[in-house]
Amino acid sequence: MAEVKEGAKDRDAVMRVNGREAVEIAIYKEGDGNTVAVAANVREALERLQPDLGGEMQTTVIYDQSTFIESAIDEVRQAALQGAVLAVLVLLLFLRSIRATLIVALTIPASVLVTFGLMRNFDVSLNVMSLGGIALAVGMLMDNAIVVLENIARRQEGGDSLGIAAAEGSSEVSGAVLASTLTTIAVFLPLAFVDGIAGQLFEDQALTVTFALIVSLLLAMTLIPMLSAAGSGAHGE
């Protein structure tokens, strides 16, 4: 026969931190939660809790997944910046005009800034995938601007005034630029509606690329003609 009595359960594991016995508490975010934001809130809560624990107890963070995510985000951000710089250098090499290069290059920061605003409005968090989408779109952001600028330059070389060249040159290629942008969006946007884990992985990236391309299209048809008409010619130094 067995003897039954009340007591503590036999421990099958011991948690130690710096050689001292400790109590481990694991905190998990919800499925749609932001890891970096949740980790920051937890750290703030621990700082507020520490005075109530007294001098004999202290809190120690053993593992923080947000540090790895922040490191990855920094690397992607640097890669996107390097890609933008290289794209501008290649653009300068082929356009052989500082002014034309600067006009087109302006579409990169302008598109990225507006894209960040759209991401915020549509609750797209800043993470590795969304930043990867921006890095992926950096090269494509200048495509529309280059097409429009080159056609404006062609009209100027044909004898049109700055205003007419900017208006007519951008209007002539608007259909082709729109079709090109929409076909690219048609490739990326469906990824945002894929079910399951794949959809969760690629939704932010697909939306970010889509936002960036739409913004670049609008800038190519508005900002580029305006800047071209304001100067001495699309290919002038």
Residue 236 pLDDT greater than 50, yes or no:
no
Q: How far apart are CA 153 and CA 235, in angstroms?
A: 7
| pLDDT higher than 90, residue 61 | no
| Fold of domain 67-230 | Multidrug efflux transporter AcrB transmembrane fold (1.20.1640)
Neighbours of 67 (CB within 10 A): 12
Residue indicated by tokens 């495509």: 143
C-alpha atoms less than 13 angstroms from C-alpha of 130 in its C-beta half-sphere: 20
The answer to whether 16 touches 107, Cβ cutoff 8 Å, is no
For position 231, what pLDDT does the model report?
60
Read off the pLDDT of residues 3-50 as tens digits, 9 standing for 90 and up. 777 877 777 777 788 878 888 888 888 766 778 888 889 889 888 888
Place of tokens 């932001």: 34
Report pTM: 0.72
Split at pLDDT 50, 70, 90, the class of 178 is very high
pLDDT digits 0-9 by tens, 201-210: 788 899 999 9
* Burial annotation 141-168 (CB, 10 A radius, 16+ → b, else e): bbbbbbbbbbbbbbbbeeebebeebbbe
Flag whether pLDDT at 119 surpasses 70.
Answer: yes
pLDDT value, residue 181: 92
Higher model confidence: residue 38 or residue 126? 38
Domain segments of the chain as ranges? 16-53, 67-230
Place of tokens 């007294």: 54
Interatomic CA distance for residues 105 and 117, integer angstroms = 20
How large a percentage of the chain has pLDDT more than 70? 96
CA dist 230 and 237 (Å) reads 14
pLDDT band, very low/low/confident/very high, at 60 (cuts 50, 70, 90)? confident
